[in-house]
Structure 1
Amino acid sequence: MHRLAPCLLPLLLAACAHEAVPPPAAGSPFALDDASVAELQAAMRDGRLSARQLTTLYLERIAALDDDGPRLNAVIEINPDALAEAERLDAERTAGRVRGPLHGIPVLLKDNIDATGMANSAGSLALAEHRPARDAHLVARLREAGAVILGKTNLSEWANFRSTRSVSGWSGRGGQTRNPYVLDRNPCGSSAGSGVAVAAGLAPLAVGTETNGSIICPAAVNGVVGIKPTVGLVSRHGIIPISPSQDTAGPMAQRVADAAALLGALAGADPRDPATEAAEAHLVPDYTAFLDADALRGARIGVMRKAMGFHSEVDRVMEASIAALRVAGAEIVDPADLPSHGRFGKHAFEVLLYEFRPALEDYLADSGAPLRTLEALMAFNTAHAEHELRWFGQELFEMAAKKGPLTEAAYLEARDSARRLAGREGIDAAMDAHRLDALLTTAVGPAWPIDPVNGDHFLGAGYSAAAVAGYPSITVPAGEVHGLPVGVVFIGRAFSEPRLIALAHAFEQATRARRPPRLLPTLAP
């Protein structure tokens, strides 16, 4: 079991002297903080590295950076069977069986995804001993693809759907995850641990989940790539839910090529998730086939100006990104705002409040959780308030508990309005009007200081329309503001992942904007 943070108060680590990621472990042929999946796979194919050796190197790196040193606190639990899984995959390779591009590659999972041998808790002490008897569908697919399940990552407790004043990256079970660029800055959430782990090279790949920004935001502020797929492309079975209308899992990686490789393993139809039926016709066996460094030439990209303008330095990065797109051959339509901008948020919030309780209680019953109702979870938090409610409350739980059944007219109207305004009358309308290949805007502002007293300090973000519509989005590093990463986000129509991956990869190759984290203790004025 991975050692957990002993104190729930976020440490500012003023005494931390680390300013650079330490070198790889002795004998490692790679700098693990920058190794690509293709490089790792080639090393195993050539016999320079085994899956067991690779898994051991990442475990040592987790011990050095997550348990010790700067204590990023990104990994909440280690898979006790990780080395045994790696050995089995090495034996398969020796026997001539290679399952695919992820064979022997370690992957971390957000701690709201069922994986046998480990707890699935959503970061809550209420589920700290909840050990599901079967894998989530996406985990079964990862195992079939030959991935080594390395462990679980910390998250914003209950995927940031507990309080209106929460601090992202904090959970009662895991404590506070820290941004590896500046340690007293927030990693965003709710897939905080997944974003931090990939950024700091604790694993080459991680899986996050998103309802509204929970892949895009932590990927952007931690300087990595995040893909939020079309809802239904990846099965949600075995994932602790918020909203069947918006929930999805997706890949996080340092580069688009690696995220595309992981998406190919995650995506797949599942009869236990009806949303995947509509996606089945759009499944692609290998998303890396769409990696095209010249994909921007002739592409029409629309700029969502109304989702920008909340930070002058972020705007500077965006203008440089738009200029780079032009140089790469893209036709820029500026502005290309959504006709429905600002009109779908209140409907989407109502949908989340209505859908949370029934979806959560279905999961708790299906997975054999020790607590089965939202009321029981609230009672647990109240009984353990010194740990669970020390910094913020459970107002969202309380609001959701008061909602009626999903047959109520208020819910049906909110669901239909949110989908229509964000999708058909939002993203689709803008793309139709301007004949666009994709929309572009700021992912989110720079990381804010960790503040458990006041909570998160968001300045603005551009990911919500895709989240509410259930459409895909991809964030790619675009630059820095005072050493803090800033990302752009590409948004497209439903099931346009291949085109978005091509465009995002071309942008990444044209800009090469990502810089490795420095593990600075703070930003001095």
Structure 2
Amino acid sequence: MSIQDAAIVAGCVTVVAEMTFNVVEASIADLQQALNNGSLTSVELVAKYLQRISIYDARGPCLNSIPILNPGVFDEVAASDARRAAGELRGPLDGIPYTLKDSMMYKGMTCSNGSPAFKDLVANSDSFVAEQLRQAGAVCIGRTNTPPMMASGMHRGVHGRAESPYNLKYLTAAFSSGSSNGAATSTAASFAAFGLGSETVSSGRSPASNNGLVAYTPSRTVISPRGVWPLYPTCDVIVPMTRTVEDMLAILDILTVVDATTTGDFWREQKHVEIPSVPRPHSYLSIKSIATASLRGKRIAVPSMYIGHHDPSAKPITTSPSIIALWNRARLDLEAAGATLIETNFPLNAASCYLWDDFLIANADPQCNTLASVDGAKMFPRPEGYIPDKYMEHKNLIDYPNLVEMVKHRDGRSLWDIDGLAEALPALEAQRKRDLEDWMDQDGIDLVVFPANGDVGKADVDTNDESARHALRNGVRYSHGNRAIRHMGVPTVSVTMGLMESTKMPVNLTFAGRNGSDVELLGYAYEYERRTKRRVAPPVTPALGDDSSVRSAVDGLHGVGELDLHVNAAERVGEDEVRVSGTVQSSGNVELEVFVDGKAVPASQIGIADGYWSFQAKFIPFEPPTPLYGGVGEVVGNVVVVVLARSAGRALGKLVMLDQKKTLQNA
């Protein structure tokens, strides 16, 4: 019998053991341990993340990574706490908060894909990944920032863009390929346990690198993209982001389940070429036991063009001396693990509108159920005289108004009726085999490794000509491997090498391999990370005093007592105060805790009597930075109120958001 069990049997109310927990950099295993041993409830965990979001994302440095909070988040985690108390957990992700890119459907929330044209589009069902995580008990705390239509990485969308938690002077992702910028910033800053992004060129790998995160881009068909806005269907892939490889393994058992529905999953739906099945382990966490010494004896190809050497057949690549220094250390790490490194050249180097229309038709939002009804000019607005346009590859820019016109004349044609598709898809598969896999076989190569990027761009790219010029140079504008990796469907895993000396920004090391080598790549990445442990928490978002939780084992037991909490009214009072009131019912004594914009309201200002509660507290008006164009998140600058009620070992929460200039927005 455990000490906790003995205490329960004896009805003991004394302190048995004291447990301390901190959410900053906490792993999924850490979170589950804290939830299981009673250090905190899932409701309290969400409250701690919301406090960090209020202080660092909505105000202060205004990172703007999570523009939309899930209004039902406290109801969802309360249900998880109830399952835990009843011994009915759904698995190791039950009660774990995560973020979801604003291109991925989450039932009942908007899914704008970063575009003003779809600001009010509501998802009528879950994307496959959201559905899987919901069934596993994980809880979406909010939607993360992305540029319009997921195109052009750090271009500001309807909610603006996310900023770097490492250095506000630099971009949190490559300028032309960073559409998962919000997912990366929020995960790095410990606003949630993990985040889901995606990429079409390198917009998952790039922000992961700039935030010291682990990113996994799977082989084709491994993670279903159903319910995710498409961009280029042959290239699009879901990219989970975590702070450690072990966390990545923990979520892959849920995300890699085979989707019974193929509609909306391009490579499984198409009939033109057979896609080889990719092996999945019985549990991805089992990779840990076989990863030790997995690099020993391996022959690793290192593309010389990515480590400062010029390839005459390729465009010159900008490479920072700081990244070369990180690479040189990583090379020694790999050699110390028993690998042999060989410098070499790297041989890899109309559908959208139909798919967007199909996405809207399937979602069936009566206010926006076809692309033909959309104002194409609003899909990806560009400011006049936009400095980065001077250095763009204009042949790659999408003509959005023209795509709307194409849909109006679709005449019943489907994606599969597009000319040349039957020839193009087998050609893509054949090219990867010829240019990558046959080359690896001929030279006895086990995997390919290279720094994720050549340098990082500056944050003032919108307004500074020199910053724009540098951010759009080859080696800086995308992650290395960019389009070739995605066109060929090459699996990769990226792990941080550490911080650049010059910018204090992180840079990743990318592990790439043959189609279907996903498990091996995850093992190599785990072994590299185990040996090096180079991730550094971002300095812009340090731990808060309330990030820690200290509670005795007995006090922390999850109770089953009656507790009910409601918000009845919320309003602004004068210029800088809020007043919120409601009801609370409990079978025991109630403790109420309130946070306004992340700051605790003194207990003396919170009144509780006869089942009613209320408080009035000041807030500090905050005027968010005015971007050159685009918007800011719905949370930014508004007043975020979190109300927590505790009684009999249970906790419930309520989230209220008020406009600084208006009254109640949601509760």
**TM over 0.5, shorter chain:** yes
Give the conservation status (yes or no) of the 8 Å contact 2:278–2:516: no
Q: Please give the alpha-carbon distance, in whole angstroms, between the structure 2 residues aligned to 1:442 and 1:377.
A: 41
**Residues 210-225 of structure 1: matches in 2 within 5 Å?**
210-225=199-214
Change (3 A) 1:396 1:298: same
Give the conservation status (yes or no) of the 8 Å contact 1:66–1:72: yes
Structure 1, residues 276-331: CA drift from partner, whole Å, max 9, x if none?
A: 58576633442121123432222332212234423133222212211110101122
1:457 corresponds in structure 2 to 472
Instruction: Calculate the TM-score normalised by the size of structure 1.
Output: 0.83
SS at match of 1:207: strand
1:294 corresponds in structure 2 to 293
**Residues 473-484 of structure 1: matches in 2 within 5 Å?**
473-481=492-500, 482=502, 483-484=504-505
Q: Please give the alpha-carbon distance, in whole angstroms, between the structure 1 residues aligned to 2:249 and 2:198.
A: 16
Counterpart residue type for residue 493 of structure 1:
R
2:219 corresponds in structure 1 to 230
SS at match of 1:114: coil
1:16 corresponds in structure 2 to none
Shift of 1:420: 3.1
Q: Please give the alpha-carbon distance, in whole angstroms, between the structure 2 residues aligned to 1:180 and 1:383.
A: 26
Give the conservation status (yes or no) of the 8 Å contact 1:113–1:136: yes
Change (3 A) 1:95 1:280: farther
Shift of 1:432: 1.1
Q: Please give the alpha-carbon distance, in whole angstroms, between the structure 1 residues aligned to 2:495 and 2:434.
A: 26
Shift of 1:375: 6.0
Q: Which moved more, 1:303-312 or 1:249-258?
A: 303-312
Shift of 1:412: 5.4
Specify every segment of 5 or more residues in structure 1 that has no aligned partner in the other structure, as ranges: 1-26, 161-165, 343-353, 521-525
1:169 corresponds in structure 2 to 154
Q: Please give the alpha-carbon distance, in whole angstroms, between the structure 2 residues aligned to 1:383 and 1:60.
A: 33
Counterpart residue type for residue 57 of structure 1:
K
Give the conservation status (yes or no) of the 8 Å contact 1:124–1:171: no
Q: Please give the alpha-carbon distance, in whole angstroms, between the structure 1 residues aligned to 2:387 and 2:340.
A: 51
Give the conservation status (yes or no) of the 8 Å contact 1:233–1:276: no
Change (3 A) 1:174 1:285: farther
Q: Which moved more, 1:100-109 or 1:456-465?
A: 456-465
Higher-Rg structure is 2
Give the conservation status (yes or no) of the 8 Å contact 1:110–1:193: yes
RMSD of Structure 2 on Structure 1 (CA): 2.9
Give the conservation status (yes or no) of the 8 Å contact 2:348–2:436: no
Change (3 A) 1:474 1:127: same
1:471 corresponds in structure 2 to 490
Q: Please give the alpha-carbon distance, in whole angstroms, between the structure 2 residues aligned to 1:462 and 1:468.
A: 14
Counterpart residue type for residue 524 of structure 2:
L
Q: Please give the alpha-carbon distance, in whole angstroms, between the structure 2 residues aligned to 1:223 and 1:269.
A: 29
Change (3 A) 1:469 1:379: closer
Structure with more helix by fraction: 1
Q: Please give the alpha-carbon distance, in whole angstroms, between the structure 2 residues aligned to 1:385 and 1:119.
A: 23
Q: Please give the alpha-carbon distance, in whole angstroms, between the structure 1 residues aligned to 2:245 and 2:108.
A: 30
* Structure 1 position 514 matched with structure 2 position 513: no
Structure 1, residues 412-463: CA drift from partner, whole Å, max 9, x if none?
A: 5555544433x11222123212333321112113321121246543441323
**Residues 329-340 of structure 1: matches in 2 within 5 Å?**
329-332=338-341, 334-338=342-346, 340=347
Shift of 1:335: 2.1
Q: Please give the alpha-carbon distance, in whole angstroms, between the structure 1 residues aligned to 2:181 and 2:379.
A: 25
Counterpart residue type for residue 284 of structure 2:
Y
1:363 corresponds in structure 2 to 359
Structure 1, residues 362-417: CA drift from partner, whole Å, max 9, x if none?
A: 11111125445556545341897779x99879941349739897655555555554
SS at match of 2:535: coil
Structure 1, residues 347-369: CA drift from partner, whole Å, max 9, x if none?
A: xxxxxxx3211211111111125
SS at match of 2:190: coil
SS at match of 2:130: helix
- Pairs aligned (count): 474
Runs of at least 4 residues off by over 6 Å = 382-387, 389-394, 402-405
Q: Please give the alpha-carbon distance, in whole angstroms, between the structure 2 residues aligned to 1:28 and 1:126.
A: 49
Structure 1, residues 198-219: CA drift from partner, whole Å, max 9, x if none?
A: 1111111000011111111110
Give the conservation status (yes or no) of the 8 Å contact 1:181–1:484: yes
1:68 corresponds in structure 2 to 59
Q: Which moved more, 1:92-101 or 1:189-198?
A: 92-101
Shift of 1:229: 1.1
SS at match of 1:488: strand
Task: Report sequence identity in percent.
Answer: 28
**Residues 68-467 of structure 1: matches in 2 within 5 Å?**
68-160=59-151, 166=152, 168-188=153-173, 189-273=178-262, 275-276=267-268, 282-291=279-288, 292-309=291-308, 310-311=318-319, 312-332=321-341, 334-338=342-346, 340-342=347-349, 354-369=350-365, 370-371=367-368, 376-381=373-378, 395-398=397-400, 401=403, 407=417, 415-421=425-431, 423-450=432-459, 451-453=461-463, 456-460=471-475, 461-464=479-482, 465-467=484-486
Counterpart residue type for residue 114 of structure 1:
M
Shift of 1:86: 0.7
Specify every segment of 5 or more residues in structure 2 that has no aligned partner in the other structure, as ranges: 1-17, 270-274, 309-317, 542-667
Shift of 1:117: 2.5
